[in-house]
Amino acid sequence: MADIKDPENTIILTLKDGEVVIELLAEVAPKHAERMKQLARDKAYDNVAFHRVIDGFMAQTGDVENANMESPNYNPRRSGTGGSQYPDLPAEFSKLPHDRGTLGAARSQNPNSANSQFFINFRDNHFLNGQYTVYGRVISGMEHVDKITRGEPPANPDRMITVRVAADVA
């Protein structure tokens, strides 16, 4: 596992192939970092599908409303249309580029509509710079992200098994 410098701002995302360690950029996008920690602590991200995975682009997940694969409300056709019980977040754009392994806040056309969904870039996607909030980066386990099943939505989607704040993991 990666050398974790700030456990309070580090996420451990467990996928079928192993753990992905994500450094949250709380100094750059404090509201987005705080929301991810809140949803992780609520266990809202557990069992949520990767509903939009485009080869050479990104893997999107985080629809806690419609994409929990263990919920009776799970609906693959609605996955990607929901958020969480919390209000939408204002954009926190920065000069940080959408490089391979960065986390971006998914949103609608409204820049201030990010909520719970996020994507992990498979490669440098600089055309997204300044349009989507960057609030984290994978510091280890990107090889597991690269193995996420592709599709929009995938026929048999992968899911986030668990998502935890490193400070909470004994």
Across 76-89, average pLDDT: 85
Q: How far is CA 153 from CA 116, 121, 134, 161, in A?
A: 18, 17, 23, 18
Element (H, E) at 53: strand 52-54
- The closest of 8, 4, 28 to 136, measured between CA atoms, is 28
pTM: predicted TM-score of the whole model, two decimal places = 0.95
Task: Band the pLDDT of 74: cuts 50, 70, 90.
Answer: confident
Q: Are 165 and 41 in contact (CB under 8 A)?
A: yes
Domain boundaries of the chain, sorted by first residue? 8-168
Q: How far is the C-alpha of 118 from the C-alpha of 142, rounded, in Å?
A: 16
Residue 1 is predicted with a pLDDT of: 59
Tokens 């992780």 correspond to 40
Residue 40, φ and ψ in degrees, nearest 5: -65, -45
Class of domain 8-168: mainly beta
Q: Is the per-residue pLDDT at 144 higher than 80?
A: yes
Q: For residue range 129-141, what is the model confidence (pLDDT) as tens digits?
A: 999 999 999 999 9
Tokens of 40: 């992780």
Query: Each residue of 10-66: pLDDT tens digit?
Result: 999 999 999 999 999 999 999 999 999 999 999 999 999 999 999 999 999 999 988
